[in-house]
C-alpha cells in the first residue's frame, strides 16, 4: 500500500468511524504532524491531512498546526492553497485568538486567478471580519479588488469550467456579495465604491434561472444593508417585485420576507407592488400565504384602507384555520388605526365577527362595545344590524355577546322600527325575547354568552311594557342553574324584582359612554412597561402619606389585567415583630389556623417566607389589618459572604385595589445576615375582592444582576399562611 492510500484509509477512518473525542483520534491527529503529512512532497497526501484537520481538528491540534497552515497559504500550488484557506477557517472558528495569524495572508490571496483559491480567500476574510470587527478597516481597503473580481465575473465570456445556467461562477459571486455587504455596512466610502458594481449586477444578471436569482437576491440584500443611493434601493425593491412573479414558491417566499424587512424604510417603493403581494394571498402554500398576509397588513395605510381591507376580508373567508386569528387581529389593528369613519369601523369588526368570531381575541368584545357606546348616532343602526346577525346565526360567540349587549342597552331603539341608516325591521317584544331565550337555551352558548343574554333580558324589563312578567319568568328559571355565576346573577335579578322594584329602572338604565383610556381598559399606561419606583427621600413637608404619587407600576407582568395603583414613598416606619402571644404558656389559646381578624386585635402577626434564592431571603410580615386595609412589611436579609446591592422591590395588585409602597430602608443588604432592608406596603381593598400581589425582586450580587418574580395568590382572611407561587 502506498503512502497516499495509507493516509487515505486513515483519513476516512478518522472522519467517519471514530468519534472526535476518541483517544485513538487524538493519536491519529498527532500522527498527521509527526509523519509530516502536511510537508509531504505529494500534494494529495498534503490534501488529505488538510481535509482531516479541517473536518475534525481539535482546538489543541489547531494551535499546534496553525503556523504550518499559515505557511501553506503562501504555497505556490493552488490546489494546496484552496485546501489551506478552508482549513484556516476551521482553525479560526475553533481558536478565535489565532485570527491575527492569518490576516496578512488572507489579503494577498485576493490576487490569485484560481477560482477555488479566490472562493476560499473570500470565505476566510468573511470569517475574519465576523470574528474580529477590528479587522474591518484593514479589509475595507480591499473593496476595489473585490469590485474588480466581481466585475470580471459579470462581464466575462462563457467559461465551461465555471458557468452555471449562463452565470459565471455564481458561488463565488454570492460569496463576494456577502463580503461586500459586511464591509459596506455603515461605511460611506466602501458603499460608494461598490454602488456602480451593484447597479451593474442588478441590471445584467438574468433571473430566469435559479443561479441568477441567487446572485440577484444577494445583490438586493447588499444594497439594503449598505449606505446605498435611493435609486439603487428602488431598483432592489423592483427586483424583489419581479421575484413575486416567479413560479418558484421558495423565491416568492424569500422575496416577501425581504420586503417585510424594508417596508418601513422604503414604504412607497414597496407599495408599487401591492397588487402582486395581495395576489400571493391566493397561493396554495400556507407559508407563502402567511408571508403575504404579514406584508399586506404592513402596507395598509390611510390612503388604501378601504381597498386593502376589502381584500383582507375576502382572504379571511377562505384562509386556513391557523391564519384566521392572525388575520382577524391584523384587521382589527388596521381598522382602529386608519378607519375613515366609525360606521365603517363597526361594520368591519362585525364582518370579522360574523366570519371568524371564534378566532378573535378575548378583548375584542369589550373593545367593540366601547366603540359602539361612543357612536351615539349609530346606536339604532348597530342594534338593527346585530339583531339581524343574531337571528341568522348564533354560532359565533363573540358576535352573539355583542349583539346581546346592544339589544339589552338599545332594545327600545330596535322596537321603534325607525332607522335612517338601514332598512328598519318590524320587531315585536316577543321576537326580541325569543331571540335571547334561544341564546340562553342553545347548547352552543358558552357560560359567558348566557350571562350576556340573561343581563340583556333583565335590562329589557325597563325598555318594554307588555312582557315584564315573561322576563321575570325567564330570570327565575336560572335561579337554580348549575352554573354558579349565572345562578348568582339570576338570584340578584329576582331580588331586584321582588325587593327593590322601585329601584329597578335606575339600576338598569342605559350605560354611559365608556372611555377607552379609563383604568378599566388600559390602566392609563402602556402594557408591558415597568416604571422604576422612586426611592428618593421625600421632603419634610411630605412626611406621612404623599398626596402625589412618585411613580407608578405599569402592568407588572400583567397581573390580573394590570394595575393603575401609584407607588407612594414616604418616611419608612419600623414595626416590632416580637411575638408575645405565647408568653408564660400562652394567655390566649392559639386558633388553628390563625385568624388575622383575631390577631389584629392584639397586634401580633405572623411572618412568612416568600423567596429564598442566591442567599437572599424575603419575608412578608402582616402588621395590621382592618376590614378594608392591610399593612404588610417586606423584610429582606442576606446570608451570603458579600453585600447585596441595588436591591429594589416592585409590586402590582388588581386594579380595584389601591397599592402604596413606602420608601425602603435602604438598597444594600449587609452580608452574613448582619442587617435587613424593610419596605412597608399598604393595601386598600374597598371592594373586598380577593387580594393578589405580584412582587418583582431585583438585586446585584458579586456584579451579577438577578431578577425574579414571586406571586402571592391570596392573602389570608381566616388563615395567615398565603399561597405563594414563585415564577
Q: How confident is the model at residue 383 (pLDDT cuts 50, 70, 90)?
A: very high
Alpha-carbon distance values, 37 to 1, 50, 68, 393 (Å): 16, 9, 11, 81
Between CA 442 and CA 447, with CA 445 as vertex, the angle to 5 degrees is: 125
Give CA 262 to chain center in angstroms.
20
CA 459/CA 504 separation, integer angstroms: 9
Alpha-carbon distance values, 407 to 378, 463, 715, 722 (Å): 14, 10, 40, 43
Alpha-carbon distance values, 318 to 173, 262, 542, 614, 675 (Å): 42, 28, 63, 54, 66
Q: Considering only residues 273 and 550, tell me which one the structure prediction assigns the higher pLDDT.
A: 273
Q: What is the mean pLDDT of residues 300-306?
A: 92
pLDDT at 436 over 80: yes
Q: How confident is the model at residue 83 (pLDDT cuts 50, 70, 90)?
A: confident
Cis peptide before 593 (omega within 30 of 0): yes
CA 207/CA 219 separation, integer angstroms: 12
pLDDT at 35 over 90: no
Residue among 78, 258, 222, 237 at smallest CA distance from 147: 222
Half-sphere exposure of 656 (CA within 13 A, CB side): 10
Q: How confident is the model at residue 46 (pLDDT cuts 50, 70, 90)?
A: confident
Map grid coordinates 500522527 to a residue: 31
Q: Where are the domains of the chain?
A: 1-102, 362-507, 540-571+589-726
Res 714: pLDDT? 60
Do β-strands 676-684 and 658-661 pair in parallel, antiparallel, or remain unpaired? antiparallel
CA 245/CA 230 separation, integer angstroms: 24
pLDDT tens-digit map of 109-164: 888 888 888 998 999 999 999 888 888 888 898 899 999 999 888 887 667 777 78
Alpha-carbon distance values, 653 to 263, 366, 422, 522 (Å): 40, 22, 46, 15
Q: Range with the lowest mean pLDDT among 41-55, 328-342, 371-385, 697-711?
A: 41-55
Where does residue 393 fall: left (phi above 0), alpha (psi -120 to 50 degrees), or beta otherwise?
beta
CA 201/CA 213 separation, integer angstroms: 11
Grid coordinates belonging to 237: 425593491
CA 79/CA 116 separation, integer angstroms: 8
Indicate the burial class of 186 (C-beta count within 10 angstroms; 0-12, 13-18, 19 or more): exposed
pLDDT tens-digit map of 195-246: 989 999 988 888 888 888 899 999 999 998 888 888 888 999 999 999 998 8
pLDDT at 345 over 90: yes
Half-sphere exposure of 527 (CA within 13 A, CB side): 10
Residue among 129, 109, 128 at smallest CA distance from 119: 109
Alpha-carbon distance values, 288 to 251, 264, 322 (Å): 10, 20, 13
Between CA 36 and CA 41, with CA 38 as vertex, the angle to 5 degrees is: 85
pLDDT tens-digit map of 672-726: 788 888 998 888 888 888 888 889 898 888 777 888 888 887 665 533 334 444 4
Residue pair 73/111 in contact (Cβ under 8 Å)? The answer is no
| pTM (predicted TM-score) | 0.62
Give the alpha-carbon dihedral of 576, 582, 587, 589, to 10 degrees. Answer: 110
Residue among 148, 120, 124 at smallest CA distance from 135: 124
CA 168/CA 172 separation, integer angstroms: 9
Q: How confident is the model at residue 624 (pLDDT cuts 50, 70, 90)?
A: confident
pLDDT at 609 over 70: yes
Q: Which CATH superfamily is domain 540-571+589-726 in?
A: Gamma-adaptin ear (GAE) domain (2.60.40.1230)
CA 473/CA 467 separation, integer angstroms: 10
The 3-class secondary structure across 660-671, one letter per residue, is: EECCCCCCCECH
pLDDT at 406 over 90: yes
Res 98: pLDDT? 86
Give CA 382 to chain center in angstroms.
35
CB proximity list for 592: less than 8 A, separation 6 or greater? none
Number of Cβ atoms within 10 Å of the Cβ of 11: 21
Residue pair 320/289 in contact (Cβ under 8 Å)? The answer is yes
Res 574: pLDDT? 38
pLDDT at 532 over 50: no
Q: Range with the lowest mean pLDDT among 233-247, 420-434, 615-629, 702-716?
A: 702-716
CA 458/CA 471 separation, integer angstroms: 7
pLDDT at 2 over 70: no
CA 365/CA 452 separation, integer angstroms: 11
Q: What percent of the chain has pLDDT over 90?
A: 27
CA 21/CA 2 separation, integer angstroms: 28
Res 606: pLDDT? 63
The one-character DSSP state at 625 is E
CA 674/CA 535 separation, integer angstroms: 22
Residue pair 664/679 in contact (Cβ under 8 Å)? The answer is yes
CA 607/CA 623 separation, integer angstroms: 9
Give CA 628 to chain center in angstroms.
38
Helical pair 397-416 and 379-392, crossing angle rounded to 10 deg? 120
Residue pair 321/286 in contact (Cβ under 8 Å)? The answer is no
The overall average pLDDT reported for the chain is: 78
CB proximity list for 337: less than 8 A, separation 6 or greater? none
Res 595: pLDDT? 38
pLDDT at 581 over 90: no
Residue pair 59/94 in contact (Cβ under 8 Å)? The answer is yes
For 465-503, give the DSSP string: STTHHHHHHHHHHGGG-SSHHHHHHHHHHHHHHHT-GGG
CA 249/CA 496 separation, integer angstroms: 64
Res 541: pLDDT? 36
Give the alpha-carbon dihedral of 14, 17, 20, 23, to 10 degrees. Answer: -80
CB proximity list for 639: less than 8 A, separation 6 or greater? 615, 616, 617, 672, 673
CA 621/CA 634 separation, integer angstroms: 6
Res 533: pLDDT? 39
619 has which bridge partners?
A: 609, 635
Q: Range with the lowest mean pLDDT among 267-281, 321-335, 603-617?
A: 603-617
Q: Range with the lowest mean pLDDT among 93-97, 303-307, 350-354, 528-532?
A: 528-532
Helical pair 364-374 and 342-356, crossing angle rounded to 10 deg? 150
For the chain, give me the number of helices (H) and strands (E)?
29, 13
pLDDT tens-digit map of 486-523: 999 999 999 999 988 888 888 899 888 877 644 333 33
The pair phi, psi for residue 693, each rounded to 5°, is -145, 135
Residue pair 147/189 in contact (Cβ under 8 Å)? The answer is no
Which helix (H) or strand (E) element contains residue 389? helix 379-392
Res 527: pLDDT? 36
Amino acid at each position: 500500500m502506498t503512502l497516499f492510500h495509507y493516509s487515505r484509509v486513515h483519513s476516512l477512518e478518522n472522519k467517519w468511524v471514530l468519534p472526535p473525542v476518541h483517544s485513538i483520534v487524538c493519536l491519529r491527529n498527532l500522527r498527521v504532524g509527526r509523519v509530516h503529512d502536511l510537508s509531504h512532497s505529494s500534494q494529495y497526501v498534503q490534501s488529505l491531512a488538510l481535509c482531516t484537520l479541517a473536518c475534525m481538528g481539535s482546538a489543541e491540534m489547531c494551535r499546534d498546526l496553525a503556523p504550518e497552515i499559515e505557511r501553506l497559504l503562501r504555497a505556490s500550488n493552488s490546489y494546496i492553497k484552496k485546501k489551506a484557506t478552508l482549513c484556516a477557517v476551521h482553525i479560526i472558528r475553533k481558536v478565535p485568538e489565532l485570527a491575527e495569524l492569518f490576516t496578512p495572508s488572507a489579503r494577498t490571496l485576493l490576487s490569485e486567478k484560481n477560482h477555488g483559491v479566490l472562493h476560499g480567500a473570500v470565505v476566510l476574510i468573511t470569517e475574519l471580519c465576523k470574528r474580529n470587527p477590528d479587522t474591518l478597516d484593514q479589509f475595507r481597503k480591499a473593496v476595489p479588488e473585490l469590485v474588480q473580481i466581481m466585475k470580471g465575473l459579470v462581464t466575462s465570456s462563457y467559461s465551461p469550467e465555471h458557468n452555471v445556467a449562463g452565470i459565471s461562477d455564481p458561488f463565488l459571486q454570492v460569496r463576494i456579495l456577502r463580503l461586500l455587504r459586511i464591509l459596506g455596512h455603515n461605511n460611506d466610502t466602501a458603499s460608494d465604491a461598490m454602488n456602480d458594481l451593484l447597479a451593474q449586477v442588478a441590471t445584467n444578471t438574468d433571473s430566469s434561472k435559479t443561479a441568477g436569482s441567487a446572485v440577484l437576491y444577494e445583490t438586493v440584500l447588499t444594497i439594503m444593508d449598505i449606505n446605498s443611493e435611493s435609486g439603487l434601493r428602488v431598483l432592489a425593491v423592483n427586483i424583489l417585485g419581479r421575484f413575486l412573479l416567479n413560479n418558484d414558491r421558495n423565491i416568492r417566499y424569500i422575496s416577501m420576507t425581504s420586503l417585510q424587512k424594508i417596508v418601513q424604510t422604503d414604504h412607497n417603493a414597496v407599495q408599487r407592488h401591492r397588487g402582486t403581494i395581495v395576489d400571493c394571498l391566493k397561493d396554495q402554500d400556507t407559508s407563502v400565504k402567511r408571508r403575504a398576509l404579514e406584508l399586506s397588513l404592513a402596507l395598509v395605510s390611510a390612503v388604501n384602507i378601504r381597498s386593502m381591507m376589502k381584500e383582507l376580508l375576502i382572504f379571511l373567508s377562505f384562509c386556513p384555520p391557523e391564519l384566521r386569528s392572525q388575520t382577524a387581529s391584523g384587521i382589527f389593528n388596521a381598522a382602529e388605526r386608519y378607519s375613515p369613519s366609525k360606521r365603517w369601523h363597526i361594520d368591519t369588526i362585525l364582518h370579522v365577527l360574523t366570519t371568524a368570531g371564534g378566532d378573535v381575541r378575548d378583548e375584542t368584545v369589550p373593545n367593540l362595545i366601547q366603540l359602539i357606546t361612543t357612536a351615539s348616532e349609530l346606536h339604532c343602526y348597530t342594534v338593527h344590524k346585530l339583531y339581524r346577525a343574531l337571528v341568522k346565526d348564533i354560532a359565533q360567540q363573540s358576535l352573539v355577546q355583542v349583539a346581546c349587549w346592544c339589544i339589552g342597552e338599545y332594545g327600545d331603539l330596535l322596537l321603534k322600527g325607525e332607522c335612517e341608516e338601514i332598512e328598519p325591521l318590524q320587531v315585536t317584544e316577543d321576537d326580541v325575547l325569543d331571540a335571547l331565550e334561544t341564546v340562553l337555551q342553545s347548547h352552543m352558548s358558552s357560560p359567558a354568552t348566557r350571562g350576556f343574554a340573561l343581563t340583556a333580558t333583565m335590562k329589557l324589563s325597563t325598555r318594554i311594557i307588555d312582557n315584564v312578567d315573561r322576563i321575570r319568568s325567564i330570570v327565575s328559571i336560572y335561579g337554580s342553574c348549575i352554573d354558579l355565576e349565572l345562578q348568582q346573577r339570576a338570584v340578584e335579578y329576582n331580588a331586584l324584582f321582588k325587593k327593590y322594584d322601585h329601584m329597578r329602572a335606575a339600576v338598569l338604565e342605559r350605560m354611559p359612554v365608556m372611555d377607552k383610556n379609563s383604568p378599566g381598559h388600559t390602566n392609563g399606561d402602556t402594557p408591558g412597561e415597568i416604571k422604576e419606583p422612586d426611592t428618593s427621600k421625600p421632603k419634610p413637608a411630605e412626611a406621612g402619606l404623599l398626596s402625589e404619587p412618585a411613580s407608578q407600576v405599569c402592568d407588572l407582568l400583567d397581573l390580573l389585567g394590570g394595575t393603575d395603583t401609584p407607588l407612594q414613598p414616604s418616611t419608612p416606619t419600623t414595626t416590632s415583630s416580637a411575638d408575645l402571644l405565647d408568653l408564660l404558656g400562652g394567655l390566649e389559646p392559639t386558633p388553628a389556623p390563625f385568624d388575622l381578624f383575631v390577631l389584629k386585635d392584639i397586634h401580633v402577626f405572623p411572618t412568612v417566607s416568600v423567596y429564598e434564592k442566591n442567599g437572599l431571603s424575603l419575608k412578608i410580615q402582616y402588621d395590621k389589618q382592618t376590614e378594608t386595609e392591610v399593612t404588610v412589611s417586606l423584610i429582606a436579609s442576606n446570608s451570603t459572604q458579600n453585600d447585596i446591592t441595588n436591591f429594589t422591590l416592585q409590586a402590582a395588585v388588581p386594579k380595584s385595589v389601591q397599592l402604596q409602597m413606602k420608601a425602603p430602608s435602604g438598597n444594600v443588604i449587609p452580608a452574613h445576615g448582619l442587617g435587613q432592608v424593610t419596605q412597608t406596603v399598604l393595601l386598600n381593598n374597598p371592594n373586598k375582592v380577593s387580594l393578589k400581589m405580584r412582587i418583582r425582586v431585583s438585586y446585584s450580587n458579586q456584579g451579577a444582576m438577578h431578577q425574579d418574580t414571586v406571586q402571592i395568590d391570596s392573602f389570608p382572611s381566616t388563615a395567615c399562611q398565603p399561597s405563594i407561587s414563585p415564577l
